[in-house]
């Protein structure tokens, strides 16, 4: 009986040590994962807001589509430089607009804003981005843009705009994009205004 008791105690002790070892390993793994996530998030913020980050934001009016959470945007962009209240078409109350200037190379020189209502994105914009001049951006291609063209088709023809503003959703949505550095037209710029993703107005400056 003494031998059996001794073996049983030894087995229990062995299992206890194994369990402790597994717990320690799991704890270490958890800490490592948390550390990696923290480092990844820190790198994303320290490298500056990218055009891809900006495009990840989905905007929509309440109950009118998918909209990105305010928390997610702040995690991507970091602490905003300032906040203010702003009016958005289709909302009965003002939204909160945050501003960031910690941009990366793909939005060099730009100021980025995002507006939220009840914690969801309802508008986003960036302005004054110093982008590499696009060879597609000529007087001919600009003149080839027609009323009724979609936002995506215009950007496909002219490239990434130097400024953009998108708000709302559906019939209450509005999109404005602006291009500078028109090839062969020093100081010229052009803005396109869309409603419900269809071009309604083209405004040219210094094209003559």
pLDDT digits (tens, 9 = 90+) for 141-165: 999 999 999 999 999 999 999 999 9
DSSP string, 105-149: GGGTT-EEEEEEETTEEEEEEEE---PPPPTT-BHHHHHT--TT-
- Contact by Cβ (8 Å): 90, 61: yes
> Rounded to whole angstroms, how far apart are CA atoms 16 and 139?
77
> Rounded to whole angstroms, how far apart are CA atoms 100 and 33?
29
As a whole number, the mean pLDDT across the chain is 82
Residue percentage of the chain with pLDDT more than 90: 66
Closest CA to 73 of 63, 85, 83: 83
Strands in 111-117's sheet, in edge-to-edge order, are: 82-86, 95-100, 111-117, 120-127, 163-167, 174-180, 189-195, 198-205
* Coil vs helix vs strand at 153: helix
The whole-number pLDDT of residue 200 equals: 97
- Contact by Cβ (8 Å): 50, 106: yes
The whole-number pLDDT of residue 132 equals: 81
- Contact by Cβ (8 Å): 110, 128: yes
pLDDT digits (tens, 9 = 90+) for 92-144: 999 999 999 999 999 999 999 999 999 999 999 999 999 887 888 999 999 99
> Rounded to whole angstroms, how far apart are CA atoms 58 and 16?
51
pTM above 0.85, yes or no: no
pLDDT digits (tens, 9 = 90+) for 31-63: 444 444 444 444 445 479 999 999 999 999 998
């Amino acid at each position: 009986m003494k031998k059996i008791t001794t073996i049983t105690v030894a087995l229990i002790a062995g299992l206890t040590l194994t369990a402790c070892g597994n717990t320690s390993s799991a704890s270490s793994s958890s800490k490592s994962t948390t550390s990696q996530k923290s480092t990844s998030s820190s790198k994303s913020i320290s490298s500056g807001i990218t055009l891809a980050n900006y495009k990840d934001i989905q905007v929509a009016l309440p109950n009118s589509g998918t909209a990105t959470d305010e928390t997610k945007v702040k995690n991507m962009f970091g602490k905003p430089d300032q906040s203010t209240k702003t009016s958005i078409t289709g909302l009965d109350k003002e939204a909160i607009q945050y501003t960031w200037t910690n941009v990366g190379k793909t939005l060099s020189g730009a100021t980025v804003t995002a507006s939220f209502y009840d914690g969801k994105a309802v508008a986003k914009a960036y302005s004054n981005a110093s982008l590499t001049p696009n060879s597609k951006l000529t007087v001919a291609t600009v003149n080839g843009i027609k009323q009724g063209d979609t936002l995506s088709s215009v950007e496909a023809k002219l490239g990434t705009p130097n400024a953009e503003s998108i708000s709302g959703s559906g019939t209450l949505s509005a999109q404005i994009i602006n291009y500078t550095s028109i090839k062969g037209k020093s100081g010229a710029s052009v803005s396109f205004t869309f409603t419900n993703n269809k071009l309604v107005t083209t405004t040219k400056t210094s094209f003559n």
